[in-house]
Amino acid sequence: MSELRRSHGFPLNVAVRSDVGRVRANNEDSFGHAWLDDGSLFVIVADGMGGHEAGEVASGLAVRVLEDAVARDSTGDPRERLYHGLLEANEAILEEGRRSGTRGMGTTAVASIFKGPEVHVGLIGDSRLYHVRRGQLVWRTLDHTRVQMLIERGEITEEAARTHPESGMLTRALGHSRMADGQPLVPDVLADPLTLEENDALVFCSDGLHDLVDDWEVAKAIAGKDPNEAAQTLVELANERGGHDNITVAVVVAGDRTESFDPDFIPANYVEAARTESTFDEEGGETLDPPDDKASSSRTPGTSSTRLPPPEKKPASAGGMKMWMILAGVFVALLFLGGMIALGVVVGLFFVAG
């Protein structure tokens, strides 16, 4: 069942569905949502890994620890709470791995704090968040994966990413002290919040959904639905396409239900806008350029999104054009002068010979 409340006067309606899928024996995904003391809403989806129930333990720890962390001080900066909460969750998972002797235990996580229409986002791994308006995708997160790095570098296409042998390789995850580039783990927290309009929807999901369902399909499938119907529709869609992994979907709608699909609505270029975003710096709240291993900020579309067009070539400056024209003129003049000299020599020789 969905749950509708008001957060700082703004309607938020949340529902979650989680399914083991059609291949796996157990569900290593975890999820949670909680209404905080200040009226904010916290939502998280985590996708565990490690096998033999270790993934389930890791994702469950991430949910519990992060929820406790963000609820501890509801008046604090939501970005700092997400940032430090993700680090706390990482330490808790590392400690559990040491205690239980379970190596490789880890999890992804995508989480948000809703404060009225403003939504703060934190991310580690390849669980995703989609922002949908009028049945169209407005924005989504980028994955922390090897193939996302390759896409951003122009080494592979989005189409090739789905079947790439490294498609499941993460560049950062909770339960690992370092990222793929060897640097200490850094949570990816959006510097500025998303802003919802009434009847917008946010979709949180594990890769059991987005591996099988394209971005535009996610947006269109939930159009005109309440959050409960939307979450169930997406889970069923992934299962219809094989359900090769656990599938968890949390949907938050700003109102009773999402708007119907509007074919005439053209969202701003969410890919291009996303590349200009920065991640939150916990030291002073400044912004940082995204590190190379991520190739993006958290507020950006990812693996199956439209790629940025190549940068436009800048026209030559007026000064540069003038210089080339001068050089070309000198070259032509030298050719002409050389030709005249050669002609004079030939004519002279002709008269001498005569």
Predicted pLDDT at 309: 29
Q: State mean pLDDT over 173-202.
A: 95
Predicted pLDDT at 312: 33
Asked if 174 contacts 82 with a C-beta cutoff of 8 angstroms, the reply is no
Predicted pLDDT at 58: 97
Q: Is the pLDDT of residue 89 over 50?
A: yes
Least confident of 76-80, 102-106, 318-322: 318-322
CA distance 273 to 264: 20
Predicted pLDDT at 281: 66
**What percent of the chain shows pLDDT beyond 90?**
64
Average pLDDT value for the chain: 82
Predicted pLDDT at 2: 85
Residue 14 φ/ψ, nearest 5 degrees: -120, 140
- The 3-class SS string of 156-196 reads CCHHHHCCCCCCCCECCCECCCECCCCCECCCEEECCCEEC
Asked if 257 contacts 224 with a C-beta cutoff of 8 angstroms, the reply is yes
Q: Is the pLDDT of residue 343 over 60?
A: no
Q: What is the pLDDT of residues 152-172, one digit of tens each?
A: 889 988 778 878 888 779 999
CA distance 227 to 234: 11
Strand partners, 315: none
Q: What is the pLDDT of residues 23-82, one digit of tens each?
A: 999 999 999 999 999 999 999 999 999 876 799 999 999 999 999 999 999 889 999 999
Return all residues near 65 (Cβ < 8 A) that are at least 6 apart. 85, 88, 89, 92
